[in-house]
A and B are shown apart, each in its own frame.
Chain A
């Protein structure tokens, strides 16, 4: 997909996920909106994946370590055809497989996540297996910035560099908010890029809501032989919905009907804009 089509797609995914959350009356709104662009770039442009063969041996792997923002991923997997789009209506309902965290009973999900600080270690294991077997898939792992307070993240970071996993790409959704407020007030992380560099990673800092920047950086990896890559994606929590942007309580706040309507109006304007421009090319 071209950049503009990806931008339109991201707007559509945001609308889909807001409707899911509204219907279910539960969900993680802020963090899903902040990482929608990242997940859209990965699934519609960067990763080698085939919904018809979700277990293909050479597929790229994706681990959503910040599993609470699964809504954007459910919407993407449905749109890609990993499962029927109608299933999105069952999100968080009794007996559903589409629970509030990634669940590998659903095609397209590699690993179950939800407890923060697990994803990167698992991704290290997948990347290590690819190296040992000489297989050419890449492993992508998306983490939260609040998640960086878990010590296990750094144990995995150390191992990724130690085993020279240049087929491993970690992305941090650096939206600077967690549940209790600003990351720098709850548990300071800055200078976060320097910490990852000191752990031996190739670090790229980008605007994680800028599709062009996402594509350029992700298409460039693996870029440094013998080093895993960390993409520090500076994002806005609640991105795309004016009243939710950068507001902490939208972490797991559910829109009411008026809010949903306003959000859909804002997002469909974005969608229309990119779609018409995209077709004009």
Chain B
């Protein structure tokens, strides 16, 4: 079982790259601990900026740095970074076309018992609505590493969302090739497709095994880039499997499910279900408890799939 959280992978990757690229900068808003960026701050004090508890300021300053040729990575809790500073993201990053990478840490319901102020389950909806801003969620540590390496090369505004704790690997190693905007078919299947992103990819893969036992051939897609969305992958899945289920650690409004549905209804209408957090302040609790409560689980995905296919659940 992997014990390295994605935030630590991001720090390690940036540490490695910053050695050869003095333009890489990391910014924190009293969040270097939560973002696991303390080692970076220590190793490269000249490439680290602390702004204090000021999320609007951190984005504005990053835009200024980017405008001056730097490659800023903003690391701050997803809930504040995505919402508190959304106007700076819209105008100073996206509209002005500055090369700022926004890394939202402890996204989704990572901060379970801290309540709605700390849950980040509208961030994908908000970020997705901003023209020019890309939106990505890595599924495990291997993908996280490759994503960060790709983003150092990529010029433009990006919102990356990760969780807080270590997640089980979904890839065997970093041998696969990550490409921005290109979905990964993790399992082939013909009856139904489950599309997941970030930490729910693991849940979808578990559902694949359970459905296989129940005699259902399920395709699993890791949609690591929610924007720009891999429309081809969605259209093919709809046409080839006839049923789509999405599962996300986000509100059912405006996130991965909505992005997929926008494509499905326009280009390949098939029955679809969106699994996520309903439109309510999420219940307090640990991630596992909250996931279970809202059916973000392999059991529930299996049940939904069988239901869609008109098959009765066994026993």
A residues within 8 Å of B by Cβ? Answer: 24, 26, 67-68, 92-96, 99-101, 103, 112-117, 146-147, 149-151, 178-180, 186-187
Contacts A94-B289, A95-B285: A112 and B117 contacting too (C-beta < 8 A)? yes
Bound together, the chains give a CA A178 to CA B115 distance in angstroms of 21
Bound together, the chains give a CA A115 to CA B32 distance in angstroms of 17
Q: How far is the CB of A232 from chain B (nearest CB, A)?
A: 18
Whether B117 and A67, one on each chain, are in contact in the complex, defined by CB atoms closer than 8 angstroms, is yes
Q: Which residues of A contact B283 (CB under 8 A)?
A: 94-95
Question: Can you show 8 pairs from A to B with CB atoms below 8 A apart?
Answer: A99-B115, A101-B115, A114-B116, A115-B117, A178-B30, A186-B52, A187-B51, A187-B53
Whether B31 and A179, one on each chain, are in contact in the complex, defined by CB atoms closer than 8 angstroms, is yes
Q: Which residues of B contact A68 (CB under 8 A)?
A: 114
Q: Which of B31, B34, B80, B114 contacts A101 (CB 8 A)?
A: B114
Bound together, the chains give a CA A116 to CA B55 distance in angstroms of 10
> How many residues on the B side are at the interface (Cβ–Cβ under 8 A)?
29
Interface of A is mostly: loop
Q: How far is the CB of A191 from chain B (nearest CB, A)?
A: 16
Judge if B56 is at the interface, Cβ distance under 8 Å.
Answer: yes
Contacts A99-B284, A146-B30, A179-B33: A116 and B53 contacting too (C-beta < 8 A)? yes
Q: Which residues of B contact A24 (CB under 8 A)?
A: 113
* B119 nearest in chain A by CB position: A114
Q: How many A-B residue pairs have CB under 8 A?
A: 88
Judge if B233 is at the interface, Cβ distance under 8 Å.
Answer: no
Judge if B96 is at the interface, Cβ distance under 8 Å.
Answer: no
Q: Which residues, 1 to 54 on B, are CB-close (under 8 Å) to A?
A: 28, 30-34, 50-54
Q: Which residues of A contact B84 (CB under 8 A)?
A: 115
* A147 nearest in chain B by CB position: B53
Bound together, the chains give a CA A95 to CA B115 distance in angstroms of 10
Q: How far is the CB of B172 from chain A (nearest CB, A)?
A: 34
Bound together, the chains give a CA A178 to CA B52 distance in angstroms of 9
B 94-129 binary contact with A (CB < 8 Å = 1; else 0): 000000000000000001011111100000000000
Bound together, the chains give a CA A26 to CA B113 distance in angstroms of 9
Bound together, the chains give a CA A146 to CA B33 distance in angstroms of 15
Q: Which of B56, B79, B116, B293 contacts A112 (CB 8 A)?
A: B116
Bound together, the chains give a CA A178 to CA B284 distance in angstroms of 25
* B32 nearest in chain A by CB position: A180
**4 tightest A-B CB contacts, nearest first:** A187-B52, A114-B117, A149-B52, A94-B285
Whether B54 and A180, one on each chain, are in contact in the complex, defined by CB atoms closer than 8 angstroms, is no
